[in-house]
Amino acid sequence: MKHTRKNFFEKKPVYLVVLFMLFIALIFSLLLAVTIGSTSIPLADVYQVVFYKLFHVGDPSFGSGKIHDVVWFIRLPRLILAAAVGMSLSICGVVMQAVVKNPLAEPYVLGISFGASLGATLSIMLGIGTMFGPNYVGVMACLGAFLISIGVVALSNIGGRSTSVKLLLSGMALSSLCGAFSSFIVYFSNDQDGMKTVSYWMMGSLSGASWENNLIVVPLAIAGVIFFWTQYRTLNLMLLGDEAAVTLGTNLYPWRQTYLLVSSLMIGFVVYSSGVIGFVGLVIPHVVRMLFGTDHKKLIPLSALVGSIFLIWADVLCRVIIPGMELPIGVLTSMIGAPCFIYLMARKKYGFGGKE
């Protein structure tokens, strides 16, 4: 066959090169961001600690002490967590947008954030779930998020099979319900400290990062990305709708439920480790889609990398933007995310909910 025009394989390397470059950028972001913080530590010392801990080479005096603690127990786990959380949020955003077939969806659209906040409120205000140990608030938030998504799936299946519209509506209904209950509890408990803790939870923060938590969140994020990457064909078909998907050999119904449960598990652990961080899951998939198109084969890995790089730097910004104070990361991502979103919406070229 003549190759007079663009061959498909000529386009493929572009995306693979971008993928590779983003991966390098992620590594560099981690290496660079670890040197930035409120305590000023000489560059050389930071890397000595990292190298000593990772490869056991260099001066053993960097294996302990104040500098070691700051770098190894505070900064690095926090950065790794930021990367994993950014990855999970943007992947789940991509998946939710496909599952409900709506480009306005995000990980929290199906009531997950309100479920989490209800869980957190119950534990903070009423002390429910203290048997889960020291981080019982996180566990309760995670449980709340997970139970709500199961509730949404169940509700959308009442009176006939679940469709993307029914999922969206069930999500909105249960969100309002959880929100109302949270407000009810907050209003009547009249507990100033508790209120502050709840709102802190809702604004999101990565300051609770620890290696123990990362041991769950990071593998889950990576496993999630790999799982959804293998599912790119079904995700593509989801955007065509149920009818077209059946004629192309896939019944979407079981997959929708599966993807929802997998992503609410991922999001549950994200909420557990860092509270509710908004807009990342909405904006990152959109930006990637504008540059590289909707094909999930590319969208999934690219969003994962862009999301983690974005959150690493957002967290750095939170720590340095106001000297001596830390901005909740959820506030920052919404401040950056919402205007981006408005810009995207105002652009005529990008289709939102229909043809222009």
Cβ distance to other proteins smaller for residue 135 or 258 = 258
Please tell me whether residue 243 binds other proteins under the rule CB under 8 A: yes
* Residue 234 CB, nearest approach to other proteins (Å): 8
Cβ distance to other proteins smaller for residue 214 or 250 = 250
Judged by CB under 8 A, the number of residues near other proteins is 37
Q: Which of 65, 219, 339, 351 binds other proteins (CB under 8 A)?
A: 351
Q: Which of 131, 187, 247, 346 binds other proteins (CB under 8 A)?
A: 247
Q: Which of 56, 60, 230, 324 binds other proteins (CB under 8 A)?
A: 230
- Which of 158, 84, 151, 148 lies closest to 116, judged by CA? 148
Cβ distance to other proteins smaller for residue 212 or 243 = 243
Query: Which span sits near other proteins by CB under 8 A: 18-26, 64-72, 119-127, 227-235?
Result: 227-235
Residues in 102-161 that interact with other proteins by CB under 8 A: 102-103
Long-range contact pairs involving 232-237 (C-beta distance under 8 Å, separation at least 24): 232/295, 232/296, 232/297, 232/299, 232/300, 233/296, 235/94, 235/95, 235/98, 235/259, 235/296, 235/300, 236/294, 236/295, 236/296, 236/297
Please tell me whether residue 341 binds other proteins under the rule CB under 8 A: no
State the Cα–Cα distance between residues 253 and 250, nearest whole angstrom: 9
Please tell me whether residue 8 binds other proteins under the rule CB under 8 A: yes
Please tell me whether residue 5 binds other proteins under the rule CB under 8 A: yes
* Residue 136 CB, nearest approach to other proteins (Å): 38
Q: Which of 233, 331, 341, 344 binds other proteins (CB under 8 A)?
A: 233
Cβ distance to other proteins smaller for residue 189 or 294 = 294
Please tell me whether residue 1 binds other proteins under the rule CB under 8 A: yes
Please tell me whether residue 163 binds other proteins under the rule CB under 8 A: no
State the Cα–Cα distance between residues 138 and 270, nearest whole angstrom: 9
Q: Which of 17, 251, 342, 343 binds other proteins (CB under 8 A)?
A: 251
Q: What does the binding site for other proteins look like in residue numbers (CB under 8 A)? A: 1, 5-6, 8-9, 11, 101-103, 230-231, 233-234, 236-237, 239-240, 242-244, 246-251, 289, 293-295, 297, 350-355
